[in-house]
C-alpha cells in the first residue's frame, strides 16, 4: 500500500477513535453482543435447526412481521421457487451451449490473470465465468419474477429520512454480474470470508463514516443496518473489481440443486457483524497503518488472525433447488466452501438488487454502453469475451422492463 493510503488509514483511525469516549470499551461492548449472537447460531447449528430465514415466492406479500424481524437480524434470506423448474432447466442448458459454442474456455486461458479481485482470497483459480450478456443471464436478471423479488427486498430498507429519499424501491436498475459453474470435485474456488463494495473505504470514506457513526460513537444499540441514509453517496477507490453501486442485497439464483459440501455459499448471518470488524481495526494490537488485513481494491478481509470469534458463526446455506434464490445484505460476511464434494455441477447466476438512485443510475449508464458493445461491465476486469459471441443479447432482444433497468429507456 502506498504511503498516501497508509497516511489516510492512520488519520482515519485517529478520527474514528475520537468519536468514542473509550474505543477499547466500545469494542468490548460490541464483542459482547457478537458473542451472544454466535452462541445462538452455534446452538441452532448443533440442533440442526434453520438459521437463515426462508420464504416462498408465492407468499411474498404474506410475510409476517416476526419473519421480517428475523431477516433484519440475520441480514440474509432465501426466497424459494422464484422460477419454475422447466424454465431453469432450459436456462442452464442455454448457458452451457453459449459457453461451449463460443469457445469460452480457449478465450479464458488467453486472458487468465486479468481478474485480480479475489487474488488474496481464493485457494486457486475460481470457476467463475466472466460472462454478462448471455440470453440465460438476461432472462433471469430482467424477468418479471426478479423485478417483484427485488421490489420486495428494497422495501425491507428504510429509504426515506428527514433530509432526502435515498432511492425508489419500486424502480430497479440492473447490475450485470457473472456466472458460477462449479464442477464436482473442484477444490480451486474456495473464497475466504469477506465483504464486497469497498474495503478500506469503510473506514476512510466520509459517507461510510456517517453510515457507521453510531458504531464508532458508543451508540451501537442505535445502529440500524437497514437505514439507507448515505449508502447512495459512498465513494469507492477506483479499481476494476470493486462494486460502484449500492445493492440493497447481493444474491444469486440456483440453476442446479446444491447444498452444504457442494462448494456452495457460506454466510455469517449477523446483520450487525460489520461493527465487530470496524471497531476491531481500531484496537491497539493492530499496526497503525493497517486494517486487519483489508487492502485497497480488494474485498474486505475477515480472517482468523483478528476475527476468529465472528468466524465461528460461518454457516453453509441449506440445500437449494433450481429456481431458488439467496440474498444477503452488503455488509454481511460471506464465503465459498473450499471443496465441491458433490456429484453434479453447482451452477448459479449472480443477481443483485440495485434500486433506482443517482449513484446506481450513473453506473448503469456507463454499463449500458458496455452492453451495447458486448464488453465486460465497468466494475469487472476488461476481459471482453463476448464482443463477437453468437447468441449474445442485443438491444433489439430486450423487453421494455430490461431496457428501463439498463437505463436504455426512462422510467416514468
Q: What is the pLDDT of residues 51-98, one digit of tens each?
A: 999 999 999 999 999 999 999 999 999 999 999 999 999 999 999 999
Compute the distance between CA of residue 278 and CA of residue 273 in angstroms, rounded to an integer: 9
Angle subtended at Cα 173 by Cα 169 and Cα 178, rounded to the nearest 5 degrees: 125
> 120 pLDDT exceeds 60?
no
pLDDT > 90 fraction of the chain, expressed in percent and rounded: 82
> 407 pLDDT exceeds 90?
yes
Q: What pLDDT does residue 182 have?
A: 86
Question: Are 119 and 162 a contacting pair, CB within 8 Å?
Answer: no
Q: What pLDDT does residue 126 have?
A: 42
Q: What is the mean pLDDT of the chain?
A: 93
The residues, any chain, with a CB within 8 Å of residue 140's CB and separated by 6 or more, are: 83, 91, 146, 253, 349, 351
Q: What pLDDT does residue 119 have?
A: 45
pLDDT tens digits, one per residue of 140-159: 999 999 999 999 999 999 99
Cell of 77: 434470506
- Residue 267 half-sphere exposure, CB side, CA atoms within 13 Å? 24
The mean pLDDT value for 320-328 works out to: 98
Q: What pLDDT does residue 356 have?
A: 98
Q: What pLDDT does residue 125 have?
A: 40
The residues, any chain, with a CB within 8 Å of residue 163's CB and separated by 6 or more, are: 229
> 348 pLDDT exceeds 60?
yes
Residue whose C-alpha cell is 470499551: 25
pLDDT tens digits, one per residue of 196-252: 888 999 999 999 999 999 999 999 999 999 999 999 999 988 776 678 999 999 999
What is the pTM for the complete model shown? 0.95
Q: What pLDDT does residue 312 have?
A: 97
Strand-pair partners of 300: 195
Handedness of CA 197, 356, 60, 321 (dihedral sign): negative
Q: What pLDDT does residue 115 have?
A: 55
pLDDT tens digits, one per residue of 174-209: 999 999 988 888 887 778 899 988 899 999 999 999
Q: What pLDDT does residue 113 have?
A: 56
Q: How far is CA 280 from CA 27, 167, 266, 273, 332, in A?
A: 7, 31, 22, 11, 16
Q: What pLDDT does residue 114 have?
A: 52
The mean pLDDT value for 271-291 works out to: 97
Q: What pLDDT does residue 124 have?
A: 41
pLDDT band of residue 130 (cuts 50, 70, 90) is very high
Q: What pLDDT does residue 123 have?
A: 39
CB atoms within 10 A of CB 232: 19
> 313 pLDDT exceeds 90?
yes
Amino acid at each position: 500500500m502506498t504511503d498516501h493510503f497508509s497516511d489516510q488509514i492512520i488519520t482515519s483511525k485517529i478520527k474514528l477513535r475520537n468519536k468514542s469516549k473509550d474505543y477499547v470499551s466500545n469494542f468490548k461492548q460490541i464483542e459482547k453482543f457478537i458473542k451472544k449472537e454466535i452462541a445462538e447460531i452455534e446452538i441452532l447449528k448443533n440442533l440442526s435447526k434453520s438459521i437463515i430465514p426462508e420464504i416462498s415466492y408465492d407468499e411474498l406479500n404474506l410475510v409476517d412481521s416476526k419473519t421480517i424481524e428475523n431477516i433484519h437480524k440475520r441480514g440474509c434470506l432465501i426466497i424459494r421457487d422464484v422460477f419454475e423448474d422447466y424454465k431453469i432447466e432450459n436456462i442452464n442448458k442455454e448457458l452451457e451451449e453459449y459457453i461451449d459454442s463460443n469457445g469460452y474456455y480457449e478465450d479464458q486461458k488467453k486472458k487468465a490473470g486479468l481478474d485480480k479481485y479475489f487474488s488474496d482470497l481464493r485457494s486457486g483459480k475460481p470457476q467463475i465465468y466472466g460472462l454478462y450478456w448471455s440470453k440465460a443471464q438476461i432472462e433471469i436478471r430482467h424477468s418479471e419474477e426478479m423485478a417483484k423479488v427485488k421490489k420486495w427486498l428494497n422495501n425491507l430498507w428504510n429509504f426515506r429520512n428527514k433530509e432526502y429519499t435515498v432511492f425508489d424501491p419500486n424502480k430497479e436498475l440492473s447490475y450485470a454480474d457473472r456466472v458460477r459453474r462449479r464442477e464436482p470435485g473442484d477444490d480451486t474456488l474456495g473464497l475466504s470470508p469477506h465483504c464486497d463494495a469497498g474495503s478500506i473505504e469503510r473506514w476512510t470514506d466520509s459517507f461510510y463514516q456517517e453510515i457507521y457513526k453510531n458504531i464508532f460513537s458508543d451508540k451501537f444499540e442505535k445502529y440500524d443496518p437497514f437505514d439507507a441514509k448515505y449508502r447512495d453517496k459512498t465513494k469507492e477507490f477506483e479499481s476494476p473489481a470493486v462494486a460502484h453501486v449500492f445493492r440493497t442485497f447481493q444474491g444469486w439464483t440456483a440453476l442446479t440443486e446444491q447444498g452444504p459440501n457442494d462448494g456452495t455459499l457460506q454466510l455469517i448471518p449477523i446483520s450487525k457483524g460489520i461493527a465487530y470488524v470496524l471497531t476491531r481495526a481500531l484496537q491497539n494490537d493492530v499496526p497503525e497503518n493497517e486494517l486487519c488485513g483489508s487492502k485497497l481494491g480488494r474485498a474486505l478481509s475477515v480472517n482468523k488472525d483478528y476475527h476468529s470469534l465472528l468466524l465461528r458463526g460461518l454457516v453453509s446455506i441449506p440445500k437449494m433447488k433450481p429456481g431458488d434464490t439467496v440474498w444477503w445484505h452488503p455488509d454481511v460476511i460471506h464465503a465459498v466452501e473450499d471443496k465441491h464434494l458433490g456429484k453434479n455441477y453447482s451452477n448459479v447466476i449472480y443477481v443483485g438488487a440495485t434500486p433506482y438512485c443517482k449513484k446506481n443510475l450513473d453506473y448503469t449508464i456507463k454499463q449500458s454502453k458496455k452492453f451495447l458493445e458486448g464488453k465486460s461491465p465497468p466494475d469487472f476486469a476488461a476481459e471482453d469475451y463476448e464482443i463477437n459471441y453468437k447468441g449474445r443479447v442485443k438491444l433489439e432482444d430486450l423487453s421494455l422492463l430490461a431496457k428501463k433497468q439498463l437505463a436504455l429507456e426512462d422510467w416514468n
